[in-house]
Amino acid sequence: MGVYHAGSRAVQERVGVRQLADHVGRSIGEGIKPVAAAFLELQPQLVVGAADPATGRVWATVVSGAPGFVRATGPRQISVAGGPGAADPLATALSTEGTPVGTIALDPRTRRRMRLNGRLRPTARGFAVEADQVFANCPKYLQRRETYETLPDRRPGETRVGGELTPDQAEFVTRADTFFVATVREGGADASHRGGNPGFVRVDAPGELSWRDYPGNAMFLTLGNLAADPRAGLLFLDWTTGTTLQLTGEAHTEFGTDRRVRFTVTEAVETPSAVPLRWAAPELSPANPEDL
C-alpha cells in the first residue's frame, strides 16, 4: 500500500496541496528509528484507534502504564503491556489477531507526538503492533503540560453508555483543548490528534459535534480516510480527573472558507477516573487560532 490512498489524494487535490503532500509523505516509513524508540519508552499513555470487529464501529481509547510499558521490540514492532478494561468498546478489537490499529503517543511535556499504524497481535502481557506506517508530526496545536503524577489508588468508575451527549458531557466537550480521532481505511486504521483553545469543538446538538480543520501537514490522512469511509471514533480525556468520553459515529467534511468536520454520534461511552494520571494545567499552544 502506498503512503496515500484515493481518499487522501482527492482531498489534497481539492485543497491544492498535492506537491507539498508528496514532499511531507517522504517522512512516513515502516521502521522505528532509535530516537522514536527512546521517545516511546518515556510515555505513560498511548492512544489507540480501531474498528470493533463485531459491530464495525470505530473507537479511540487510551491505555496507560509506567514509562516503558510501550516499547519498540524490533525495527518494525512495538509491544504494549496491558490494555483497556473489559468494559471498553475496543477491548475485543485489541485482543483479536490481525486487527488494523492506529496509535499515537503524545507527550505534552515536550509537545512531541509519534504515530504508528499497523496490525495487532495479542501477547501474554497485552498486545504488539507490527508497523506499516511510522511518522512524527510537528508540535502545532499541542498544549504543553509540564508534569504529571500517577495516582495508584484511582480506579475506573462505572461506565455510562448512551446514544447522545448528556448536558454534562456536552460541557466536557466544549471545555476540551484536545481530543483524538480514529479513522479507518481499506486494510488499515489511523489515530490522530486535534487541539485548539477551549471551545474549538462545538456541540451543535446532543448528537452532533463540529470543529474547524486547522491547517496542518497537508497529508490529510484523517480527512482522506473519512472521504472514503465516514466511520470515526473520538476520544476526549480530562487530563486532571482521568475521565474519558469515547464517541463513535460518522463524520464528513464541509469544504468552504473554513473547512469544518461534522460528526454525528451513534454511541457515547463515559468512564470516570479511567486513567490514573493527573497532568498539570495546560499552557495553550501559540498556534491555536481564535474560533469565532
What is the tens place of the pLDDT at every residue in 240-256?
999 999 999 999 999 88
* The pLDDT value given to residue 258: 85
**Bigger pLDDT: 198 or 10?**
198
Question: Domains (ranges, CATH) in the chain?
Answer: 6-279 (2.30.110.10)
pLDDT in tens, 216-272: 776 778 888 998 999 999 999 999 999 999 999 999 999 888 889 999 999 999 999
**What per-residue confidence (pLDDT) applies to 215?**
76
In this prediction, residue 292 has a pLDDT band, given cuts at 50, 70 and 90, of low
Q: What are phi and psi of 39, to 5 degrees?
A: -60, -45
Which residue blocks in the chain are alpha helix, DSSP H? 6-15, 18-25, 34-40, 167-175, 221-228
Average pLDDT over residues 36-40: 96
145, 279 in Cβ contact below 8 A? yes
Residue 153 has pLDDT above 70, yes or no: yes
Report d(CA 251, CA 246) in Å as an integer: 15
- State the DSSP code for 80: E
CA distance 146 to 108: 7
Give the pLDDT band of residue 150 (cuts 50, 70, 90): very high
80 Cβ partners below 8 Å, 6+ apart? Answer: 46, 63, 69, 70, 126, 127, 128, 129
The answer to whether the CB of 103 falls within 8 A of the CB of 191 is yes
11: confidence class by pLDDT, cuts 50, 70, 90: low
CA dist., res. 27 & res. 135, Å (int): 6
Name every residue whose Cβ is closer than 8 Å to that of residue 71 and which is 6 or more positions away in sequence.
37, 40, 41, 78, 79
